[in-house]
Structure 1
């Protein structure tokens, strides 16, 4: 894959790509993530890294927090959130042959998918569905 030179994708660009991927997810997965809050930051916070017992901020590309959709919600619960961390995603992207959009979708799907107990095969199917929807002609 040939990469274009220029500035790396910004926080805003990453968020646009992630929101587009969320919008294209098939049901029932999309329904589980309809009210998810998407947070895009350059790096995870020091507090989060300490909580996860991680030293290197480049090791964490994303994180899902929140209760699964089928569990009871309690007063005071925070909404479900997907955190995407731009610099670690850029670092992974720079070292591979995957399109940036595909890598963002991969991180997004895997963070939410593991939380909902999806298998790797299910997550791979979701990624394939996103790729199909990206290449399908508009009706």
Structure 2
């Protein structure tokens, strides 16, 4: 058992990242292939600029965000751009975990798949279907 679980400490960014990477590993190969260059970041909380960019005020309201251009909108003429990124926000995820009682790995999978869905330009229904495909 992990030391932080014994002590009752909140799950670390590393634990959340491990859940997110496990979710990505369960995706069909066609999806994983297009995610190889997407950077996964687990941060404590969204900064004020990120919150403003999505129309939110409080950092606990944003569990994750995709930053980049969806696959279908990319152009070979876009050289020199920053890599696409998926940001997961630990404090917001932990707050939702405590409020909902959903298993942490399921919650992280939900947020991760949602942000991956933005990378692919998927509809909410498609995101739900993809989430069902990676569920244990």
What TM-score comes out, normalization by structure 1 length?
A: 0.83
Match of 2:31 in 1: 29
Tell me whether 1:13 sits opposite 2:21 in the alignment.
no
Q: How far apart are 1:16 and its partner, in Å?
A: 1.1
Question: Where does 1:37-48 land on structure 2 (aligned, <5 Å)?
Answer: 37-48=39-50
| Contact 1:113–1:123 under 8 Å retained in 2 | yes
Tell me whether 1:93 sits opposite 2:97 in the alignment.
yes
Q: Distance in 1 between matches of 2:100 and 2:81?
A: 38
**Unpaired runs of at least 5, structure 1:** 133-139
**Unpaired runs of at least 5, structure 2:** 1-5
Structure (1 or 2) with the greater helix fraction: 2
- Describe the superposition over 1:80-138 as per-residue Cα deviations: whole angstroms up to 9, x where unpaired: 10000000000011111311001001001111213422122222222222124xxxxxx
| Contact 2:42–2:90 under 8 Å retained in 1 | yes
Q: Distance in 2 between matches of 1:92 and 1:106?
A: 12
The total of aligned residue pairs comes to 129
RMSD of aligned residue pairs (Cα, Å) = 1.9
Q: How far apart are 1:32 and its partner, in Å?
A: 2.2
Match of 1:79 in 2: 83
| Contact 1:26–1:126 under 8 Å retained in 2 | no
What TM-score comes out, normalization by structure 2 length?
A: 0.85
